[in-house]
Structure 1
Amino acid sequence: MPEYQMERNGMRKVISMAVLTGALALPAFAEGETHYVAVHVNQNDPHTINMALNNVQNVSNYYESIGDDVIVELVAYGPGVHMFRTDTSPVAERISAMALEVEGLRFAACANTIRAMTAKAGKDIVLMPEAEVVPSGVIRLIELQEQGYAYVRP
């Protein structure tokens, strides 16, 4: 048998074995990945607050459109906590609707800020039921970033 035929037959055997063992399998693209995003709000400005909510909606819509999941936590501290207050929120209805519509969305309000607002107002500050109180907004953002969350600040 000529040398080139032996080489060719040997190569066929190598390719056949590689296919059988999966060595030549094409890389599988990850479907249904989960993305993690932390959104930071520390201003009591309706434009900034709405931009943050727009960011959340756009991120959610995009990942849903490509078959991925997204977990988003919007963290507010300082003046940003007004977005969750029942008496001062410029976006209360929008937050309530988004909480029902956007899967994987959480709202976090800073306990330090709430204590300061309560002391200044001389009365309890009432938050929307969608907001979860965390010990510190800044610490929560640090924790989320340490867990691999992407950070967004509108």
Structure 2
Amino acid sequence: MLPANGWSRRGLLAGASILTAGGAAAARGDRLVDGVVILIDRNEPSVMGHAVSYAANLAKHFADKGARLLIEVVANGKGIDVFRADRTPLAEPLATLRQTLPDLTYSMCASSKAIAEAKEQVTIPLISGANLVPFGIGRVVDLQLKGWAYIHA
């Protein structure tokens, strides 16, 4: 059973992973952790807003400790609207966050994008700074297997 706050059990055990100012991965127990991945898979402004807030708060939390945190926000399924230039309700906060957090990455599921484009018969534009990954959920799992903590927004 997952905690109500959205952290996975592995994410809780790993804590939020950090990179030291020197760039070396920090040890947490007997393993190395490299970052936090935040998944958005719903087209709800409050969910999208929470993801932005989580990223900003995590970055500040670790900066206050003198550490850098790698953060990747992954949009999958109906959540891809967060990174759609033609639909996102958070264009300004997302742009501001990207400018202030150099260790932040935005990734959109290319498969979900292709499905939406076929359904809507349009070409979906991405916000500035967003990247495509073949499968959003695959990206999340790849990062978890590398030791990243996971948050479901």
The answer to whether the superposition gives a TM-score over 0.5 is: yes
1:128 and 2:111 are equivalent in the alignment? no
* Alignment match, 2:114: 115
Q: Could you report, residue by residue, the CA deviation over 1:35-58 in whole angstroms, capped at 9, with x for unpaired residues?
A: 510000001101010011101000
Q: Quick one: which amino acid aligns to residue 63 of structure 2?
A: E
What TM-score do you get using the length of structure 2 for normalisation? 0.78
The structure number with the bigger radius of gyration is 1
1:90 and 2:86 are equivalent in the alignment? no
Q: Residue 31 of structure 1: CA displacement?
A: 6.0
Q: Could you report, residue by residue, the CA deviation over 1:15-71 in whole angstroms, capped at 9, with x for unpaired residues?
A: xxxxxxxxxxxxxxx964655100000011010100111010000000000001100
- Cα 1:118–1:59, aligned 2, differ >3 Å: closer, same or farther? same
1:1-150 pair list within 5 angstroms: 32=21, 35-150=34-149
**How many angstroms apart in 1 are the aligned matches of 2:145 and 2:129?**
24
Q: Quick one: which amino acid aligns to residue 65 of structure 1?
A: D
- Contact 2:43–2:78 (8 Å) recurs in 1: yes
- Cα 1:70–1:31, aligned 2, differ >3 Å: closer, same or farther? closer
Q: Residue 129 of structure 1: CA displacement?
A: 2.0
**How many angstroms apart in 1 are the aligned matches of 2:122 and 2:54?**
33
Indicate the structure whose relative CO is greater, using CA pairs within 8 Å and at least 6 residues apart: 2
Q: Quick one: which amino acid aligns to residue 116 of structure 1?
A: I
SS at the partner of 2:38?
strand
Q: Residue 121 of structure 1: CA displacement?
A: 1.0
Q: Quick one: which amino acid aligns to residue 145 of structure 1?
A: Q
Q: Quick one: which amino acid aligns to residue 89 of structure 2?
A: P
- Cα 1:70–1:40, aligned 2, differ >3 Å: closer, same or farther? same
Q: Quick one: which amino acid aligns to residue 148 of structure 1?
A: G
- Cα 1:31–1:120, aligned 2, differ >3 Å: closer, same or farther? closer
**How many angstroms apart in 1 are the aligned matches of 2:126 and 2:102?**
21
For structure 2, which runs of at least 5 residues remain unmatched after alignment? Answer: 1-18, 27-33
SS at the partner of 1:107?
strand
For structure 1, which runs of at least 5 residues remain unmatched after alignment? Answer: 1-29
